[in-house]
Amino acid sequence: MASADFSLRERDRKRLYKDRLFRMAVSFGGVGVLAALVLIFVYLAMMVLPLFSSSQLEPAIKQQAISAEQPVAIGLNDYGEHAYFLSEDGTLTFWALDGNDNQAQKAAYVSHVTPDLFAQSMPALGWLGIASKQGEVSLFQPEFSVTLEGNKRTFDPEVFYFSDQPSITLPSVDSPVTQFAFTANEGSAVIVTRDEQDRVTAYWYEDEVNTHQFQFSQPISDVEQILLTPNGEQLYLRVGNDLIVAVQSSLSSASREYQVREIVTLGDEEKLVVDIALLSGAYSLLVSYQDGQVSQWFDVLTDGERTLTPIRHFKLASELKSILPDTYRKGFYSFYANGTVQSHYTTSEKLSLFERAFDKAPSAAAMSLNEKFLLTYSDGALSVSEVDNEYPEISFSSLWKKVWYESYPEPQFVWQTTSASDEFEAKFSLVPIAFGTLKAAFYAMLFAIPIAVLGAIYTAYFMSAQMRRVVKPSIELMEALPTVIIGFLAGLWFAPIVENHLAAVVSLLIFLPMMTVICGVVWHILPKAFTSKLPNGWHALILMPILAGTIVLSMTQSGNIEAAMFDGDIRLYFANHGFDFDQRNALVVGFAMGFAVIPTIFTIAEDAIFSVPKHLSDGSLALGATPWQTLIYVVLLTASPGIFSAIMMGLGRAVGETMIVLMATGNTPIMDWNILEGMRTLSATIAVEMPESEVGSSHFRLLFLAALLLLIFTFAVNSLAEWVRQRLREKYRAL
């Protein structure tokens, strides 16, 4: 038998080429989408990973030999180029750290008082103080000034004194002063002294004039340290392991005085206190102990009274020599006998730096105001180290666990990223905004799933073909409505309606389902001769006007409903039962975002139900099953993979929705399931705060972490949906 050679006609050959071309294009598009997702994930991960990296310290980038005695205080400018050196003889010397011994010393200022006592304000203020035993005090502020002469920058340092005269004389000093502390701001200062008779006296100065003074009624002996907060309103006197906390009782310049609020025991015989220091912002105390432990203490409001309370402890080595609080951030550096340097951040409890940078512990240390350079003095030389410590605030505990923030009564989850103060304690807990995301999605899905799925069931299985051709495109058209319009209407139009008719809205949650059931019961009771006149699939035409009338009647009778059901004031009624009310709340978001999600769930679920082969339902009915039995045990089981996918798609959209939650929630990062209160979501936080965040800052990178969490959540939801869909398809494939 002869066989004919197989050949493609020209038309078939063109079709083959087109098929291959489009197959390649579709494959390329799919691979491109996957590659884009991978690149997005990699980019977000690259932006986030630095948050969890260790800090770096590069020691001795600049050094300068100093031919002077042991310093009392040292300081550094923000560029690490110039330093000041205050020696024990009261001489303040400025140095250019260029390594040139002949040109290093630029200017020197000699104290105008006998340098018997020294004190220093908090680093952020930058004031230094020298006092004599006779009560002469000089308060001054070194200034790293640079002048421009053509294209040349010339270092021209200055010293600013608190008063027009280099020194001031304290009044009524009749006994040698043994200790003093001060705080100074522009035009005002508070000076506290202790004399040989153990009398503690406070002096207030306004515009260089002594306006008031106060002396404790009882002598206080064995005072080892005196600390003042920058505003002068709180005074700490350490007597061994005991701390006397005194607060200013009046802001009036003529009646100011300190009253002892409490006496706190910081340690015991086995745990001796070595030093106390104020943390940046002066809300916290760092207490150093002889065994190397450092504890953070701050005031906690308990039963209406503030009490100095131990908050957290840092177990350091016993070779600890000194600690240095950060200038603005809530951290501190610790120096050890073997030259090791550590950096701890109190809020996050993160050890961000651990490095042996020196041969031994420096005898003096200071940070630049921008906290990028560390200045140390040891063995007759100043040394500058560059510090890369960008993200000490971030740790797993600060992001996902309760944190006890300064002045808070207890550990809490808090998201608060900005403040007017440079010494603000940033609160970077992601829990409130992650909770808000889930809360918004939960209430949206609670509203959308029953309506969308039940509507899809009715439309695909019970509704007439003519009505389905109108209803289905109309609902799909809802998806084209921009979410910004939905959010705008929800926040500015719908939210006030809910607020003004809250009783009616709450009652409708009961009346609408009740009226639906009542209509079904009445329709079932009516004679067949009457009900048979309406063709099957058109019953919604009867129900819709009844539901609309119920809504209108409830809204018009909102006042009467409120008087009858809620004692005349629904908001007070809810408040008495522990439910606060905000105008933009989860109820509004549930309606608005549910309205936006319904088309997605409805379309996919309806297609899945309508696509169930006709012979399955016909066979079930032919075997004697009722339409409802056929729907539940045949149609829905077969369509369950598609219905589940529809719900997961709707959930993914609800979680990632931005504009609706941004405009209709109030954006309050609270953790409460109360449907009448708002929330703050991850997506809204990114949209609001990204334009205002500093590029490269902890806040900036945390917003990328929020975006990464949204991406991971969406990917996980879609993956779970696909896995479940495949399992359901395999299970019910035999049908």
pLDDT tens digits along 413-431: 999 888 767 678 889 999 9
> Any idea what DSSP says for residue 165?
S
Average pLDDT over residues 501-508: 88
pLDDT score for 544: 85
Average pLDDT over residues 559-570: 84
pTM: 0.86
- Average pLDDT over all residues of the chain: 87
Angle in degrees, CA 59, 60, 64, rounded to 5: 155
pLDDT band for position 10 (cuts 50, 70, 90)? low
CB 394 within 8 A of CB 345: no
pLDDT band for position 735 (cuts 50, 70, 90)? low
Q: Residue 229 corresponds to which amino acid?
A: T
pLDDT above 80 (res 251): no
Residues 480 and 210: their CA atoms lie apart, in Å, by: 72
pLDDT score for 44: 93
Model pLDDT for residues 648-682, shown as the tens digit of each residue: 889 988 988 888 988 888 888 888 898 888 889 99
pLDDT score for 702: 94
Measure Cα distances from 275 to 237, 266, 321, 381 in Å.
Answer: 12, 11, 11, 26
Spatial strand order of the sheet with 305-315 comes to: 273-278, 284-289, 293-302, 305-315
Reported for 32-35, long-range contacts at CB under 8 A and 24+ positions apart, including other chains, are none
Strand 293-302 and strand 284-289: the pairing is antiparallel
Model pLDDT for residues 90-132, shown as the tens digit of each residue: 888 888 886 555 455 666 777 778 889 999 999 888 899 999 9
Q: What burial class does residue 275 get, using C-beta atoms within 10 Å of its C-beta: 0-12 exposed, 13-18 middle, 19+ buried? A: middle
Residues 657 and 591: their CA atoms lie apart, in Å, by: 14
Residues 135 and 352: their CA atoms lie apart, in Å, by: 43
pLDDT band for position 133 (cuts 50, 70, 90)? very high
CB 682 within 8 A of CB 636: no
pLDDT score for 701: 93
pLDDT above 70 (res 387): yes
Between 593 and 520, the more confident residue is 593
Model pLDDT for residues 137-182, shown as the tens digit of each residue: 999 999 888 777 777 777 888 888 888 888 888 988 888 999 999 9
**Residue 646 dihedral angles phi and psi, to the nearest 5°:** -65, -45
pLDDT above 90 (res 256): no
- CA 504 vs. chain centroid, Å, equals 37
pLDDT above 50 (res 250): yes
Q: Residue 193 corresponds to which amino acid?
A: T
pLDDT score for 102: 47
Question: How many alpha carbons fall within 13 Å on the CB side of residue 613?
Answer: 8
Model pLDDT for residues 216-240, shown as the tens digit of each residue: 989 999 999 999 999 889 999 999 9
pLDDT score for 234: 92
> Which pair of structure tokens corresponds to residue 566?
């809620």
Between 3 and 454, the more confident residue is 454
Q: Single out the residue of 332, 327, 328 nearest to residue 344, CA to CA.
A: 332
CB 365 within 8 A of CB 374: yes
Angle in degrees, CA 76, 78, 110, rounded to 5: 35
pLDDT band for position 9 (cuts 50, 70, 90)? low
Residues 365 and 75: their CA atoms lie apart, in Å, by: 8
Average pLDDT over residues 45-53: 91
> Which pair of structure tokens corresponds to residue 511?
């009346």
pLDDT above 50 (res 543): yes
CB 686 within 8 A of CB 706: yes
> Which pair of structure tokens corresponds to residue 546?
């009844």
Q: Single out the residue of 113, 99, 125 nearest to residue 180, CA to CA.
A: 113
Q: Single out the residue of 335, 384, 388, 375 nearest to residue 123, CA to CA.
A: 375
Average pLDDT over residues 577-582: 82
Helix, strand or coil, per DSSP, at residue 275: strand
pLDDT score for 612: 86
pLDDT score for 106: 64
